[in-house]
Amino acid sequence: MFNLTVKTLNNIIFEKTITLKFSTLFLLSLLLFSCIENNKSDTIFDSTNVKSAENSYATGFSLNNYDGWDVLEIYSPWPNSQKNYHYLIKHKFDTINKLLPVFDYDGIIEIPVEKIIVTSTTHIPALELLGTENTLIGFPGTQYVSSEKTRLRIDNGEVRELGNNETINTEIVLDLKPDILVGYGIGNQNKALETINNSGTSVLYNGDWVEASPLGKAEWIKFFGILYDKKKEADSIFDIIETNYMAAKTLAQNVKKRPKVLCGAMHNNVWYLPQGTSPEAQILKDANVNYLWGDTKGKGSLALNFESIFEKAQNASLWFSPSYYNSYEELMLASTHYSQFNAFKNKSIYSFANTKGATGGVLYYELGTARPDLVLKDIIKISHPTLLQEYNTYFFKPLQ
C-alpha cells in the first residue's frame, strides 16, 4: 500500500543521503523541481484529425490517431511530471511504406513487440494475461517475481537479472537488445534509462502506479495490449475485471453494518496509512467499510502521530495491512502500543505480507495492481463474513 513512499525513499537513498540530511535534501529537491522547465512544445499533437481510443478510468496514457498514424501518449509517468511522451506505433508487417510523419516524437515502436524488458512486478501480470510472458528477456530484481509461469522462465535462465531499477545494469540491457524497455521513473527521469534510450532501445515509462483509482491502474493492461497488437484481447480482459469489480461493489453496498477500519503501522512513531481518496482507500470505500480516515483528501499516504491514531482507532474492529509485519508477536516486538488496539486484542488484523511467492516476493505488489477485483473481494469477504461465502481470500490473510 505504500508503494509510493517506498519508491520515493528508494530514490532518495541512492542519491547518497543516508547521512540524515533529510531537511537539506528536501529543500534541494524543492529547488530542483522548481527549476525544471518544459521547453518542448507539443504543438503538432494539438493538430486536427485526432481520433482517440478513450480509456474508462486510466488517465496516464492514451492511443491517439493523428492523420492515420497511431501515437501512444504517456501523460504522467511520475507524479507532477511536466512532460508528455509520444511514441509512434508502427506495425512490423506494415507493407505500405508510408512516409514517417515529421513531428517531435520520443520513439518509434514496432509492434508486435518480440523482446521486452519490464522493470516493475506490476507489469508481469499484464504480460501473462495477454499470453505474452515468453517475450520477457530481462528484469531487475527477479527474486521479487512470484508468478509461477514467469518464475519457471527465470529459473531456466530465460530472463536475465538486471540489478536494480534505479541503477539498472546498462551493459546487460544493451547486450540483450530488447525491442523496448518498459521502465518507471520516480519523480524524474531515470538516468540509466536515459542512456539506454539514447542507445536506440525505446524506453517507455509506465505510470500505472500514478493512477488515481484501482481500476485506472488495472486499465494499464491496455497499454501492453497496444505493444503486442492485442488491443481487443486487452479490452476484453479489462472488461471482465471491471465487471467483477462492479459486481462485488454492488454486493457490498447492500450491507447495513459497516465495520470501523484502521490501516497501516508505525515507523518511528509516525503512523503511515492511505489517504481517503487514494486507490487503496477507494477499495475500502467500495467494500462498504467505515475507513476512519476516509474523509481525508489526497493520493498518497498520511503520516500521523501515534496519539491521534490511538484516539480515533482504538476501537476499530478491523485492521488492514500493518506494514511488513507478519505476526502479532512481531508487532509486539516493534512496539507495545500496538497491543492496546481492539483489533489487536480481538486478533482482527489482516495483511497481504504473508502471501508470498517462492522467492519471497509479496504477491499483492505484483498482482494487486492488475486485479483490483480480487483485492476488493478479499476486503469484502473479511469485512462482511456473510457475503462471498464460497470465496477464499487471495492476498489478505489473518496475521499469524
Partner 1 sequence: MLYKKSTYKSITILLIVLLCVSFFVNIGLGSVSISLKEIFLTIIGHQENYIIQHYRLPKAFTAVLAGSGLGISGLLMQTLFRNPLAGPFVLGISSGASLGVAIVILGSSLMGGFLATVFISKWSIVIAASLGSFIVLLAVMIVAAKIRDTMAILIIGLMFGSITAALVSVLSYFSSAELIQQYVFWGFGNLGNLTWYEVVIFFSIYAVGIVLSMMSMKNLNTLLLGENYAKSLGLNVKKSRFIIIIATCLLAGSVTAFAGPIAFIGLAVPHIARQIFNTSNHKILLPSVFIIGSIVMLICDSISQLPSSDYTLPINAITSLFGAPVVIWLLLRKRKMVF
Residues in contact with partner 1, counted by CB under 8 A, come to a total of 41
Closest-CA residue to 259 (of 316, 196, 213, 207): 316
Residues in the chain: 400
Cα separations in angstroms, 290 against 92, 317, 377: 51, 10, 16
As measured in angstroms, the least distance from the Cβ of 118 to partner 1 is 17
As measured in angstroms, the least distance from the Cβ of 216 to partner 1 is 23
Question: How many C-beta atoms lie closer than 10 Å to residue 384's C-beta?
Answer: 20
The Cα angle at residue 22 between residues 77 and 37, in degrees rounded to 5? 40
Q: Site residues for partner 1, window 335-364 (CB under 8 A)?
A: 335-337, 340, 356, 360
Q: How would you label 125-153 residue by residue, b for 16+ Cβ within 10 Å and e otherwise?
A: bbbbbbebbebbbbbbbbebbbbeebbeb
The answer to whether the CB of 119 falls within 8 A of the CB of 85 is no
Segment near partner 1 (CB under 8 A); pick from 5-13, 175-183, 199-207, 256-264:
5-13
Segment near partner 1 (CB under 8 A); pick from 151-159, 210-218, 308-316, 386-394:
308-316
Instruction: State the Cα–Cα distance between residues 230 and 64, nearest whole angstrom.
Output: 16
Strands (E), the chain: 50-53, 61-66, 69-74, 85-91, 107-111, 116-118, 136-139, 160-161, 180-183, 202-205, 260-263, 265-267, 270-274, 290-291, 301-305, 318-320, 349-351, 397-398
- Mask of contacts with partner 1, 262-301, x by CB under 8 A? ----xxxxx-------------------------------
Residue 356 DSSP symbol: B
Residue 142 in grid coordinates: 527477479
Residue 188 in grid coordinates: 524524474
Segment near partner 1 (CB under 8 A); pick from 79-87, 96-104, 189-197, 322-330:
322-330
Closest-CA residue to 289 (of 395, 184, 173, 380): 380
As measured in angstroms, the least distance from the Cβ of 306 to partner 1 is 6
The yes or no reply on residue 6 touching partner 1 (CB under 8 A) is yes
Cis peptide before 214 (omega within 30 of 0): no
- Mask of contacts with partner 1, 32-61, x by CB under 8 A? ------------------------------
Instruction: State the Cα–Cα distance between residues 332 and 338, nearest whole angstrom.
Output: 6
Task: Pick the closer one to partner 1 by CB: 9 or 152.
Answer: 9
Segment near partner 1 (CB under 8 A); pick from 3-11, 88-96, 104-112, 190-198:
3-11
Task: Pick the closer one to partner 1 by CB: 70 or 280.
Answer: 280
Q: Site residues for partner 1, window 154-173 (CB under 8 A)?
A: 164, 167
Answer for which of 19, 254, 386, 392 binds partner 1 (CB under 8 A) is 19
Task: Pick the closer one to partner 1 by CB: 174 or 304.
Answer: 304
As measured in angstroms, the least distance from the Cβ of 276 to partner 1 is 13
As measured in angstroms, the least distance from the Cβ of 18 to partner 1 is 6
Segment near partner 1 (CB under 8 A); pick from 76-84, 236-244, 305-313, 391-399:
305-313
The yes or no reply on residue 247 touching partner 1 (CB under 8 A) is no
Residue 375: enclosing H or E segment and its boundaries? Answer: helix 372-383
Task: Pick the closer one to partner 1 by CB: 1 or 379.
Answer: 1
Q: How far is CA 29 from the centre of its chain?
A: 23
As measured in angstroms, the least distance from the Cβ of 350 to partner 1 is 17
As measured in angstroms, the least distance from the Cβ of 161 to partner 1 is 13
As measured in angstroms, the least distance from the Cβ of 88 to partner 1 is 34
**Torsion angle in degrees (nearest 10) through CA of 373, 366, 353, 141:** 180
> In the complex, which residues of this chain contact partner 1 (CB under 8 A)?
5-7, 9-10, 12-13, 16, 18-20, 22-23, 164, 167, 266-270, 302-308, 310-311, 324-326, 330, 333-337, 340, 356, 360
